[in-house]
Amino acid sequence: LLVFVIILDLLPAKNGEEATIQFLLELVDILTNYIRKTFDRSTKVLDFHHPHQLLEGMEGFNLELSDQPESLEQILVDCRDTLKYGVRTGHPRFFNQLSTGLDIIGLAGEWLTSTANTNMFTYEIAPVFVLMEQLTLKKMREMIGWPSGEGDGIFSPGGAISNMYSVMIARYKYFPDVKTKGMSAAPRLVLFTSEHSHYSIKKAGAALGFGSENVVLLSTDERGRVIPSDLEAKILDVKQKGYHPLFVNATAGSTVYGAFDPINEIADICEKYNMWLHVDGAWGGGLLMSRKHRHKFSGVERANSVTWNPHKMMGVPLQCSAILGILSGCNSMCAGYLFQPDKQYDVSFDTGDKAIQCGRHVDIFKFWLMWKAKGTIGFEQHIDRCLDLSQYLYEKIRNREGYEMPQHTNVCFWYIPPSLRGMDPNSQEYREKLHKVAPKIKALMMESGTTMVGYQPQGQKVNFFRMVISNPAALQSDIDFLIDEIERLGHG
């Protein structure tokens, strides 16, 4: 029926209501079918194609843009194909990323957000969303343990940007003149972060004019945690060179190992040298909701700023990342066309001037709606379940033939194929061969589309699998499936 209908027939066209409703209902049908299949384990996680195959066009799915409008029938086919050739990140056997899953309430929140299609910069055009953001950030600060949930914060486009905010606010606190005069208004400033921390700290150093050479990497222990004495030694070294140690990032849940740096010991050092302490809890933040696991954040209330990504461990649809700390003044430009001081309401609710971007997507609603629907207790149960599943995997492969593990919170492991077993693990030949195992298995896994898990090298360690569980749909049987699949594909 939509074969002869084009975009110009939809609302706001006169009499466009019927075609609009029909089009949207058909789209909803496509989406609900996709959702249903995503949770069906007989559906593949992905139908992999190389970039050149997709660019050449697949059975009528053409990525090229056209000059003339296409029929809405074709637009619906394009929607279906877009999902068909994508990756089902909500599938119970998708373990590839820190952010996984498909939360139905969160999805509803995202649909509503797009329908409202507003901008977070002013209360004027996003009154309800701005208030939801304020209330939710306060609740998160209370969980961090800042007195009465005091402080500030903002939702930003991802953990890397949240971490960048932390560096900006540290610099503004200690050297406010940099905002107007540039870096020449400050001595040479140095940032400290773990060798296992997320690369965004180094990126922030480069992007903000510190220079990546002024981001000092800290040594870690066998579990990937910062060694506090190394931090202090490196601070003293920097001071001796006449530079200014400004900022320390403590990671709470490192990307690969899931390591938690000792926040209290790092906080003692920051206090001693009058430095800013940031906690990057992008991955681990959700643990603050768990009475059983929040002890890993011990000392977080002493931090000056915290990154926390609900789109990771807490399963909120992408994207949803918060930077918590005092932002006011740091980025404000008081643009007169947007942030007029003489509006009829309390303009402190025009929170957009704290951000480095102007237009800001509404990331809060889906999170707020999920919190309402689950309650804090629902998030807690989800976090505890994910950690129980990690423990299940850990126990399963700990003593199993053909596995070796660096032993960390995320379950990281090598699969040793039969052909390598018995070889000298310290020999160069073994290392070179083992380095190729995970990429090979991963490629076969993607070709067969049955499951997905990430791999990477780390320091001196050759490629190993990193298993992370944040997907609420995953069961023990999915963990079993993953291990069986690795063995099936790696047996050759």
| Interaction site with ligand ABU (CB under 6 A) | 97-99, 159, 255, 454
- CB of 177 vs ligand ABU, minimal distance in Å: 32
- CB of 99 vs ligand ABU, minimal distance in Å: 6
- CB of 51 vs ligand ABU, minimal distance in Å: 21
Q: Which is nearer to ligand ABU, 158 or 402 (CB)?
A: 158
3-class state of residue 328 by DSSP: coil
Kindly provide the residue ranges of all beta strands, DSSP E only, lying in 105-243, ordered along the sequence.
153-156, 189-194, 215-218
- CB of 158 vs ligand ABU, minimal distance in Å: 7
Q: Which is nearer to ligand ABU, 34 or 94 (CB)?
A: 94
- CB of 489 vs ligand ABU, minimal distance in Å: 21
Residue-wise DSSP of 90-133: TSTTEESSSS----HHHHHHHHHHHHH---TT-TTT-HHHHHHH
Q: Which is nearer to ligand ABU, 192 or 455 (CB)?
A: 455
Please give the distance of CA 376 from its chain centroid, rounded to a whole number: 20
- CB of 191 vs ligand ABU, minimal distance in Å: 18
Q: Which is nearer to ligand ABU, 261 or 353 (CB)?
A: 261
Provide the token pair at 139: 């609740």
Tell me how far apart the alpha carbons of residues 160 and 140 are, in angstroms, rounded to a whole number: 19
Provide the token pair at 330: 């740091």
Q: Which is nearer to ligand ABU, 97 or 357 (CB)?
A: 97
Provide the token pair at 278: 């940031």
Tell me how far apart the alpha carbons of residues 19 and 58 are, in angstroms, rounded to a whole number: 28
Q: Which is nearer to ligand ABU, 126 or 279 (CB)?
A: 279
- CB of 126 vs ligand ABU, minimal distance in Å: 26
Burial zone of 79 (CB within 10 Å; 0-12 exposed, 13-18 middle, 19+ buried): middle
- CB of 255 vs ligand ABU, minimal distance in Å: 5
Tell me how far apart the alpha carbons of residues 465 and 437 are, in angstroms, rounded to a whole number: 10
Q: Which is nearer to ligand ABU, 118 or 197 (CB)?
A: 197
Q: Which is nearer to ligand ABU, 94 or 129 (CB)?
A: 94
Q: List Cα–Cα distances, 387 to 27, 282, 287, in angstroms.
A: 36, 16, 10
Comparing CA positions, the residue from 331, 323, 283, 316 lying closest to residue 162 is 323
Q: Which is nearer to ligand ABU, 159 or 224 (CB)?
A: 159
Tell me how far apart the alpha carbons of residues 141 and 308 are, in angstroms, rounded to a whole number: 10
- CB of 131 vs ligand ABU, minimal distance in Å: 28
3-class state of residue 243 by DSSP: coil
- CB of 282 vs ligand ABU, minimal distance in Å: 6
Tokens 């409008």 sit on residue: 69
> What are the residues whose beta carbons fall under 8 Å from the beta carbon of 27, sequence distance 6 or more?
76, 79
Comparing CA positions, the residue from 115, 31, 37, 139 lying closest to residue 367 is 139
Q: Which is nearer to ligand ABU, 228 or 253 (CB)?
A: 253
Tell me how far apart the alpha carbons of residues 101 and 310 are, in angstroms, rounded to a whole number: 12
Tell me how far apart the alpha carbons of residues 102 and 41 are, in angstroms, rounded to a whole number: 14
Residue-wise DSSP of 332-391: ----TTTS-TT-SS-GGG-GGGGSSSSS----HHHHHHHHHHHHHHHHHHHHHHHHHHHH
Q: Which is nearer to ligand ABU, 98 or 313 (CB)?
A: 98
- CB of 61 vs ligand ABU, minimal distance in Å: 27
